[in-house]
Chain A
Amino acid sequence: MKLRVRSKTDTILGGLTLLTLLSVCLALVWVFFRAPQDAVMGPVQRIFYFHVASAYAMYLGAIACLIGSVWYLKARTLRADALGYAGAQVAVLFGAIVLVTGPLWALKAWGHYWTWDPRLTTSLLTVLIYAGYLVLRRYSQHTEFTRKFAASIGVIGALNLPLIHLSVRKWSGQHPQVITPGGGGLHHPDMSIAFALSMLAFTLLAITLVTARTRLLIAQAHVRQLELRIELQMVELAHDMGNKLQHSDSPADKGNDDANEGA
């Protein structure tokens, strides 16, 4: 008997992975070979293309976590919980990329890695909230309470997202605002194309990773349930066997044993 069946999701995931790889390659070519170097910042400006795209991918992960969390709090399904968990993992992944690439750019631009700028601080806070979510899931038992608690963290984490976006406008700060409603600060068409391709690549990457992780988490939960059921059946079987043995130790048998002992 084979439990593994190639499903429609496998095909979709395969197609998504292929598309993601293609778009990442295209974005890399554009960022490094087509987009011109920035006149003021020099080569370090190229960090921007993947730094902003990673921040956007972090938002996507956090939104997936929010959808999964709200869905879980309403419907209590395995799929919803898995989506929330996968979203938090992807949010932390891209959040870590943002927090590593940003300071490297800042060292050149500001002369230091870190400053307690509103956008930097709120971004760090968001990543820490999702990291807390993952720590909770990793080091606690798979109970209903844990899942509900994690789902509420998923909702709270998402409340922080608009704060990151609005922090620059509300409290100013050092963080630049290159992407603005008025057209933005990319003054060359190839710069804009490189940025658009990076955004596309990271959107596909985030969707692929959330899908793959959700699928993996659902499968893990199903296997865990099956293992528990098998364990329960084994315990019941052992219990039945114990009962049968007790029945075999009936008075008639005992009498025979006594007779044997007397002989």
Chain B
Amino acid sequence: MQTKEPNESQGSTLQPSDGFRPVQGQAPQHDGAKLMAQAYVALWVILLVFVWMGHRKQRLLSERIERLEKVLMGDNEPKGRRG
């Protein structure tokens, strides 16, 4: 599609067949609702990842404590049993 310069005699009347021109000196419009949704999703994702990491560390710690319990239980067993 070819773009033509607006004719002076036509003034500022809209001529759709003339083509499209970007808005000059103005920031592009962004959908506020979409940005808000993105911000809230990001917030909850970051928070949940942090909580999940804490939960994972807690589980690993529980496993380490279980291993320690086993070692200590082994030490407390009566010597006769171990032969």
Chain A residues within 8 Å of B, Cβ to Cβ: 1-4, 41-47, 50-51, 54, 89, 93, 96-97, 100-101, 104-105, 107-108, 110-112, 205, 209, 212-213, 216, 219-220, 223, 226-227, 230
B52 to chain A, nearest CB (A): 12
A132 to chain B, nearest CB (A): 18
- A50, A110, A223: which contacts B40 (Cβ < 8 A)? A50
The residue of chain B having its C-beta at the shortest distance from the C-beta of A215 within the complex is B58
- B28, B39, B40, B69: which contacts A1 (Cβ < 8 A)? B69
The residue of chain A having its C-beta at the shortest distance from the C-beta of B69 within the complex is A3
- Residues of chain B contacted by A43 (CB below 8 angstroms): 32-33, 36
> Are A209 and B50 touching (Cβ within 8 A)?
yes
What are 28 A-B contacts defined by CB distance under 8 Å? A1-B72, A3-B68, A42-B33, A43-B33, A43-B36, A44-B35, A45-B32, A47-B36, A54-B43, A96-B46, A97-B43, A97-B47, A101-B39, A101-B42, A104-B42, A105-B35, A107-B30, A111-B27, A209-B54, A213-B54, A216-B57, A220-B57, A220-B61, A223-B64, A223-B68, A227-B64, A230-B68, A230-B72
> Are A111 and B28 touching (Cβ within 8 A)?
yes
> Are A108 and B68 touching (Cβ within 8 A)?
no
> Are B42 and A100 touching (Cβ within 8 A)?
yes
- Residues of chain A contacted by B72 (CB below 8 angstroms): 1, 230
The residue of chain B having its C-beta at the shortest distance from the C-beta of A213 within the complex is B54
B53 to chain A, nearest CB (A): 9
B30 to chain A, nearest CB (A): 5
Chain B residues within 8 Å of A, Cβ to Cβ: 27-28, 30, 32-33, 35-36, 38-40, 42-43, 46-47, 50, 54, 57-58, 61, 64-65, 68-69, 71-73, 76
- Residues of chain B contacted by A110 (CB below 8 angstroms): 27
> Are A100 and B39 touching (Cβ within 8 A)?
yes
Chain B binding surface, main DSSP class? helix
Q: A111-B28, A209-B50, A213-B54 are in contact. Are A104 and B38 (CB under 8 A)?
A: yes
- Residues of chain B contacted by A3 (CB below 8 angstroms): 65, 68-69
B25 to chain A, nearest CB (A): 11
Known pairs A1-B73, A42-B33, A100-B43. 14 more at Cβ < 8 A?
A2-B69, A43-B32, A44-B32, A44-B33, A47-B40, A50-B43, A51-B39, A89-B50, A104-B39, A105-B35, A107-B30, A112-B27, A220-B57, A223-B61
Q: Tell me the bound Cα distance from A2 to B68 in angstroms.
A: 10
- Residues of chain B contacted by A54 (CB below 8 angstroms): 43
The residue of chain A having its C-beta at the shortest distance from the C-beta of B28 within the complex is A111
Q: Tell me the bound Cα distance from A111 to B25 in angstroms.
A: 11
- B46, B54, B57, B61: which contacts A97 (Cβ < 8 A)? B46
Interface centre among B32, B33, B72, by most chain A C-beta atoms within 10 angstroms, is: B32
> Are B32 and A42 touching (Cβ within 8 A)?
yes
The residue of chain B having its C-beta at the shortest distance from the C-beta of A100 within the complex is B42
